[in-house]
Amino acid sequence: MHPDVQEILISEDRIAAKVKELGERISEDYRGKDVLMVGILKGAVVFMADLIRHVNVPLAIDFMAVSSYGKSSESSGVVQILKDLDQSIEGRHVIVVEDIVDSGLTLRYMLDNLSTRKPASLKICTLLDKPSRRKADVTPDYNGFVIPDRFVVGYGLDYAENYRNLRDIAVLRPEVYSKG
């Protein structure tokens, strides 16, 4: 275990099983349709890479990068699009792939923005959901795990760009992210 980790919240094996289950559900729900999965950089990359290998319908991918955190552990509430989509979503079945839904403020902004681009459908797939922190009306359509209000890293999730490479979802020691 990494020295900055307080505890393992979700093991690599549990993550793998849940990602497979989500991929199978998406495949069933979108049978006969083409899907565009939009990964939210950088946190969703690991999750999305594993997820698409379990989706068995025609599939394209694209990415968006948004920021409301910077190097803080709290969202600023101000959302910036750092990288927009490379392709049109008009008339397409879009699934936004997120690592974690926390306050929902960033995701709400993104969904409002994407819905103006006239997709055929717009759904959310997240690995982690922290409903206790919700400040915006956002409910994931595909949800891996509901987690308590703990500061988590690993499997793509970071703190100040570190810990993304951990294989488990882990709780970060408070002294690590509360340094002045």
Alpha-carbon gap, residue 44 to 62, rounded angstroms: 12
Count Cβ atoms below 10 Å from residue 39 Cβ, excluding itself.
26
Which one from 50, 99, 102, 129 is the annotated catalytic residue?
A: 102
End-to-end CA gap in the chain? 25
**For this structure, is 137 an active site residue?**
no
Q: Please report which residue ranges of 102-149 form alpha helices under DSSP H.
A: 105-115
Return phi, psi of residue 105, to 5°.
-65, -45
In angstroms, what is the C-alpha Rg of the chain? 16
Structure-block tokens of residue 114: 């994407």
Alpha-carbon gap, residue 135 to 102, rounded angstroms: 8
Largest CA distance in the chain: 53
Residues with active-site annotation: 102
